[in-house]
Amino acid sequence: MKATRLGAAGLAVALLGALVAGTPASAAESNTATDSTATTCVTDPAVPKRQFRAMWIASVTNIDWPSKDSWTAPDQVAKQKAEYLAWLDLAQKLNHNAVVVQVRPTADAFWPSEVEPWSEYLTGVRGQNPGWDPLAFLVEESHKRNLEFHAWMNPYRVSMPAPGGAGADISKLAPNHPVRQHPDWVFAYPPAGVAGSRLYYNPGIPEVREFVQTAMMDAVKKYDIDGVHFDDYFYPYPSGTYQYPDDATFAQYNRGFTNKADWRRDNINLLIQEMNAKIKAEKPWVKFGVSPFGIWRNKSADPNGSDTTGSQSYDIISADTRKWVKEEWIDYIVPQLYWYIGQYPAADYARLVPWWAETVRGTDVQLYIGQADYKSGDPAYGSFWMNPQELSNHLTLNRSYPEVLGNVHFSAVQVRANRLGATDIYAAEHYSRPALVPTMSQLPAKPLLFPVVTGAERQADGVRLSWRQPADGKGPFGTATSYAIYRFDGAGLAGRCDFADASHLVATVRADGDVQSWVDTTAESGARYTYYVTALDRLWNESPASPPRFVR
């Protein structure tokens, strides 16, 4: 379509139209029930306007991507690219709006890092150059689909157990691995010679903490990622009665602590606090999130704890997750609530969701829930997980807690497996419409002007909309990174409440050039529609709606 220039007269008409038409709330729109839109408009809880939806795409031991088959493919790179695009297809099919992709699984890199070796999970050979830049491709293709890209990194794990991994043998690491130059930076746990032994960077050494932050910040600086994501591995999970070999480290770097457990927790606190500060200093818009083990502490150990009796991250892996929330050192938290709803005193999902909701309440930290898709339909995990509705019931329970703003599913292969049809069920009952990513008021934003729709034409494959974004990124105005498209049946003006949920949201599309264009392939021939378009910045703050565009 020929580009249309929007002159001053056209802009004036558009502004007048926007004053006449009802529009959504301003770009500073909130995500919770305290938002004025939510309190004055009746919304459908099954189609929330804002909800974080993602799946974890794990690379360690080639769980999800890339496949081991790709290593021997005639064109390894082409196969790995095709595999990743298939995961994005699945994300779009499920109306997800983000992906969480593991790009630093074992102190290695899925990009040409300045300080760490290439990951073995790309080629099957530790340190081997794959001949391309996977992270650049991952980010670019995710953004084309308007999916946020969260770079999932493990701070301290250096190797996986033998025989598949290097185990505790430093000589089996990549030839250029930093640990070869600094063997004093790591310890083996469980001890070398014990089944499952592997190497970890020692969190108690200040140089190590600085190094792993530098390694991860390399990706933040070089790539247009939307978030940095840690999982639940900090100090190693305990193995039998083996103790961490850090007596000498404690003696040298105790910083005045006399209690080793408190010192270990402070080591991880410093990692979290400093990493957040470095991310925000480099790119203030990049989110920082953690997905910890689902229990902080039990009520029997701490009055602030949850009504559970299971393992406690505070004690077993030195992760004081509640403190990170209360200090607002992170932007979001995704507790792994991998338990069923029911009579399970150790860790009942229905007990933990309200505890986490209470924990984030009053903070700037957003709460998403980690879902155990891997347990669904697997008899090894018990009868509750043989209920096709179990995961969907989790998402239904979440609706009772406005602090719960989304879900992340573990992991991609399990989502695709769709055992018992569970994925289809929760997708139909909870992800039937697109959703915008929740905004974060603590991150920087500028006001956005509304778009102006310059064309709406019927064609063989649907209705083609075209629009422009006035003053995009100029002066006091923000830059439109993507757009939301709303469609209403008939020809009439929409009111403010019509934009309060996703009932009329048909798509979000990435910004691409001066004149935007999109085809509504679901439009029925001969039907009358009214379209509105809003602009979204990279943090999903939304502009007022465009003037309406009618299609007869």
pLDDT tens, residue by residue, 58-71: 999 999 999 999 99
The mean pLDDT value of the chain amounts to: 93
* pLDDT (average), residues 403-428: 98
Shared domain check, 326 and 279: yes
Domain CATH for 493: 2.60.40.10
Domain CATH for 419: 3.20.20.80
pTM above 0.85, yes or no: yes
The residue from 397, 431, 465 where one domain ends is 431
Residue 8 domain-assigned (yes or no):
no
Residue 313 domain-assigned (yes or no):
yes
- pLDDT at residue 199, as a whole number: 98
Shared domain check, 487 and 369: no
* pLDDT (average), residues 304-329: 98
Distance (Å, whole) CA 389 – CA 385: 9
- pLDDT at residue 39, as a whole number: 59
Indicate whether 19 pLDDT > 80. Answer: no
Residue 267 domain-assigned (yes or no):
yes
- Structure-token match 């600094």, residue found: 182
Q: How do strand 148-153 and strand 227-230 relate by DSSP bridges?
A: parallel
Residue 220 domain-assigned (yes or no):
yes
Residue 16 domain-assigned (yes or no):
no
Distance (Å, whole) CA 103 – CA 59: 7
| Ranges assigned E (strand) in 40-139 | 52-57, 98-104
Q: Count structural domains, the chain.
A: 2
Residue 183 domain-assigned (yes or no):
no
Indicate whether 28 pLDDT > 80. Answer: no
Shared domain check, 484 and 414: no
- pLDDT at residue 307, as a whole number: 97
Alpha-carbon 377 to chain mean position: 25
- pLDDT at residue 101, as a whole number: 99
Query: Contact, 387 vs 378, CB < 8 A?
Result: no
* pLDDT (average), residues 122-138: 98
- pLDDT at residue 206, as a whole number: 98
Query: Contact, 186 vs 262, CB < 8 A?
Result: no
- pLDDT at residue 444, as a whole number: 94
pLDDT tens track for 318-358: 999 999 999 999 999 999 999 999 989 999 999 999 999 99
Indicate whether 29 pLDDT > 70. Answer: no
Indicate whether 24 pLDDT > 50. Answer: no
Shared domain check, 392 and 294: yes
**In the chain, what percentage of residues exceed pLDDT 90?**
91
Task: Report residue 67 as tokens.
Answer: 């496949």
Phi-psi label, residue 254: left if phi above 0, alpha if psi -120 to 50, beta otherwise: alpha
Distance (Å, whole) CA 183 – CA 552: 71
User: Phi and psi dihedrals of 501, rounded to 5?
Assistant: -130, -170
Q: How do strand 462-468 and strand 515-520 relate by DSSP bridges?
A: antiparallel
Query: Contact, 101 vs 85, CB < 8 A?
Result: no
* pLDDT (average), residues 204-226: 98
Indicate whether 31 pLDDT > 80. Answer: no
* pLDDT (average), residues 131-149: 98
Residue 14 domain-assigned (yes or no):
no
- pLDDT at residue 552, as a whole number: 84
Total residue length of the chain: 552
Shared domain check, 253 and 133: yes
Angle ∠(28,32,34) on CA atoms, nearest 5: 85
Distance (Å, whole) CA 367 – CA 332: 6
- pLDDT at residue 90, as a whole number: 98
* Reported confidence tier of residue 117, pLDDT bands at 50, 70, 90: very high
- pLDDT at residue 486, as a whole number: 98
Shared domain check, 401 and 287: yes
Shared domain check, 471 and 342: no
Distance (Å, whole) CA 99 – CA 16: 39
Shared domain check, 473 and 404: no
Angle ∠(300,301,302) on CA atoms, nearest 5: 100
Task: Report residue 548 as tokens.
Answer: 């309406």
Residue 26 domain-assigned (yes or no):
no
DSSP string, 441-482: TTS-----PPPEEEEEEEETTEEEEEEE-TTTT-TT-----E
Query: Contact, 535 vs 544, CB < 8 A?
Result: no
Query: Contact, 321 vs 333, CB < 8 A?
Result: yes
pLDDT tens track for 430-476: 999 999 999 999 999 999 999 999 999 999 999 999 999 999 999 99
Contacts with 81 (C-beta within 8 Å, 6 or more apart), sequence order:
137
pLDDT tens track for 350-400: 999 999 999 999 999 999 999 999 999 999 999 999 999 999 999 999 999
- pLDDT at residue 343, as a whole number: 82
Shared domain check, 543 and 471: yes
Shared domain check, 405 and 471: no
- pLDDT at residue 513, as a whole number: 87
Half-sphere exposure of 87 (CA within 13 A, CB side): 30
Domain that holds residue 499: 452-551
Distance (Å, whole) CA 167 – CA 302: 36
Indicate whether 113 pLDDT > 70. Answer: yes
- pLDDT at residue 14, as a whole number: 41
User: Phi and psi dihedrals of 52, rounded to 5?
Assistant: -75, 125
Shared domain check, 412 and 271: yes
Shared domain check, 492 and 422: no
Distance (Å, whole) CA 338 – CA 328: 24
